[in-house]
Amino acid sequence: MNQQHQDERVRIREAMGRLLTGQAAASNGSLTVVALAAEAGVHRMALLKRHVDLKNEFYERVRIESRQVPETERRLRETVTKLKETIANQRAEIEKLRQQVTRLALANAVLTHEEDRQARHAPAPENVLPFRPPKA
């Protein structure tokens, strides 16, 4: 591990401590990776690529020390809740549509049967000759 890499890790750990104690100096103080990167003076991608272990440690400490759910996890949970509601609504709508299809198919069958029955009993116009003579 080179010296620059080691210096970044030290700055990140110090920034973690400041954020978790509410003494942010270079960021908005939120408990996010973006605020941690700003507080440590490193690029956010450094946390996401080179220092993934520190990012995970930060979120674990946020959960334990502040008894808070990290912002990203909270947003994901809200999204999951909304998606579950959407799925439930869509399932209910699909069920309604299936019932409507069944009712319409039944109505179509009744109307078709009634039309056939009326056509069989209706007298043929005098100028129309059937291809086959009616069966007796």
First-to-last alpha carbon distance for the chain, in angstroms, is 103
pLDDT at 134: 63
pLDDT at 118: 77
In the predicted model, residues of the chain with pLDDT beneath 70 are 1, 124, 129-130, 133-136
pLDDT at 91: 97
pTM: 0.51
pLDDT at 95: 97
Domain residue ranges of the chain, discontinuous segments joined by +: 3-68, 72-121
Query: The dihedral of CA 125, 130, 135, 136: what is its sign?
Result: positive
